[in-house]
Amino acid sequence: MTSRLWRPGAGAFVLAILGACASSTSPQPTPAEQLAAITRELDRLQGEAERLADVSAIKRLQRAYGYYLEAAQWDQMTDLFADSGSIEIAQDGVYVGKEHVRRYLNALGGGHVGLRSGQLSEHFQLQPVIDVAPDGQSAKGRWRALIMSGQFKQNARWGEGTYENEYVKDHGIWKLAKLHWYQTFLVPYEGGWAKNHDLTGGVFVGKKLTPDQPPSEHYGVWPAVYIPPFHYKNPAPSGEAAQPALPAGASGSLGELEKAVASLKERIERLKDADEVENLVSMYGYYLDKQQWDLLTDLFAPDGSMEISQRGIYKGHAGVRRALELFGPQNIEPEHLHNHIQIQPVIQVAADGTRAWTRSRALSELGTYQRVGIWGDGVYENEYVKVNGVWKIYKDHVYTTFFATYDKGWENGAGKSPKASPKIPPDAPPSEIYESFPDIYVPPFHYKHPVTGQPIKWTPGGAP
């Protein structure tokens, strides 16, 4: 009698998970042994998929934190924390509980929500090392913050420091349990870290708003040196954490296994989609750096579009290729720098895996040797589409935050947003009208809040 495990279709795919259950010289396993082996492998794959999804969600959470921080959206930031969560910034002390976190953040913003006109507050969230606990209910993460802040015509500052954070899964949603930022330096732009000591001593709010606990670690900031403790050890083999593959009460029959396999396959596909979209974001940056216009154009869907700041919209492959000539000729020329470092992507993939959206950013280092150097920063709100199984850019839209010459920095230098070119005119006008630094404009968020699930409502600067 033929076992149901060997019938064509989903049952065959279930067995394919295992590879070869036994070699040709080994005794053939019984149907019960086959079923048990498949279930074990499903457990392993389910656990692996769960950990990948957890890491992806934690990255999304921390990157969203950075976008809210730089826009001074204190309520959106607070909602990322667990009810018993805490925040510790440099030497300010520890503020415990969601409402104390809210009070601290509002004090950090001087009692106002949103950026003031002429204020720059870039907080790049970089270089994550994420470790999820075996039970999948807590995690730790190390991040780096690169800070470019200041007030137009008043001051400009560089900053840098390391986060050692803890996260907790609350009813299936990842939240911040402990946010701890260790300050390395905050120094004036002019002279930078070579000629200046830290401006703050690591204290921002602590003398105005009493913390619940003193700083958990006392250390000096630049030019003093302190190494924040590493939450992780160097990679080493570890045991697999078994996760339940089947719904509670499932019989473990072939039918139940087929459903579990289909669900798992779809989940892994969405995780792969997010990874492929992040790769696409990075590839875009590398081609843009070296002015590889033909390769960059090929990253777009045939009906895709490019919208650069206030230059207008360029449509289709021909339009995108024309738009790229705005930056110069194909292949970067000697003595030119055109770096556009792509960082901090928040990625959302549609449930059917055919479309995706990202919010990301570019830190720009531009210039020509012995002539001019330029800093720049911008935010992308992009849309992607899967064409014949390959992810392509459908809408590329970069919002300019600021441009400034290297010598003047963002304290005294501010270039207007690039406008439409009469030599290479766009196919359509800009979809949104705004002006860059020292004006303030926060591009609309494509994604909902990672914790509340609500649309992001940006509060303009100066609101109490």
User: Mean pLDDT, to the nearest integer, of 386-398?
Assistant: 97
Higher pLDDT, 2 or 364: 364
pLDDT of residue 2: 33
Cβ 225 vs Cβ 261: under 8 Å? no
Q: What percent of the chain has pLDDT over 70?
A: 90
pLDDT of residue 18: 45
Collapse the DSSP code of 284 into the 3-class scheme (helix H, G, I; strand E, B; otherwise coil) and give the result. helix
Q: What percent of the chain has pLDDT over 90?
A: 77
Higher pLDDT, 41 or 372: 372
User: Mean pLDDT, to the nearest integer, of 427-454?
Assistant: 95
Q: Which fold has domain 256-412?
A: Nuclear Transport Factor 2; Chain: A, (3.10.450)
Token code pair at residue 297: 């154009």
Crossing angle between the packed helical segments 31-70 and 254-289, to the nearest 10 degrees: 40
Residue 240 has pLDDT above 80, yes or no: no
User: Mean pLDDT, to the nearest integer, of 48-52?
Assistant: 89
Q: Which fold has domain 1-22+29-231?
A: Nuclear Transport Factor 2; Chain: A, (3.10.450)
- Other C-beta atoms closer than 10 Å to the C-beta of 307 total 24
Average pLDDT for the chain = 89
Strands (E) located in 288-389: 300-308, 313-315, 336-349, 355-368, 372-387
Reported confidence tier of residue 21, pLDDT bands at 50, 70, 90:
very low
Q: Where are the domains of the chain?
A: 1-22+29-231, 256-412
Residue 428 has pLDDT above 90, yes or no: yes
pLDDT of residue 245: 47
Sequence-ordered alpha helix ranges (H) in 80-203: 98-108, 192-195
Q: How far apart are CA 258 and CA 9, in angstroms?
A: 10
Token code pair at residue 5: 């495990």
Distances (CA, A) of 271 to 264, 356, 375, 384: 11, 12, 34, 15
Reported confidence tier of residue 252, pLDDT bands at 50, 70, 90:
low
Q: How far apart are CA 199 and CA 147, in angstroms?
A: 14
Reported confidence tier of residue 464, pLDDT bands at 50, 70, 90:
low
User: Mean pLDDT, to the nearest integer, of 407-431?
Assistant: 94
Q: How far apart are CA 166 and CA 176, in angstroms?
A: 6
- Other C-beta atoms closer than 10 Å to the C-beta of 352 total 9
Higher pLDDT, 23 or 153: 153
User: Mean pLDDT, to the nearest integer, of 219-248?
Assistant: 74
pLDDT of residue 165: 98
User: Mean pLDDT, to the nearest integer, of 249-259?
Assistant: 67
- Other C-beta atoms closer than 10 Å to the C-beta of 247 total 10
Handedness of CA 80, 86, 90, 93 (dihedral sign): positive
Cβ 136 vs Cβ 169: under 8 Å? yes
Residue 244 has pLDDT above 90, yes or no: no
Residue 282 has pLDDT above 70, yes or no: yes
The two domains 1-22+29-231 and 256-412 share their CATH topology (first three levels equal): yes
Q: Which residues contact 118 (CB under 8 A, 6 or more apart)?
A: 151, 152, 153, 154, 437, 438, 440
Residue 290 has pLDDT above 80, yes or no: yes
Reported confidence tier of residue 242, pLDDT bands at 50, 70, 90:
very low
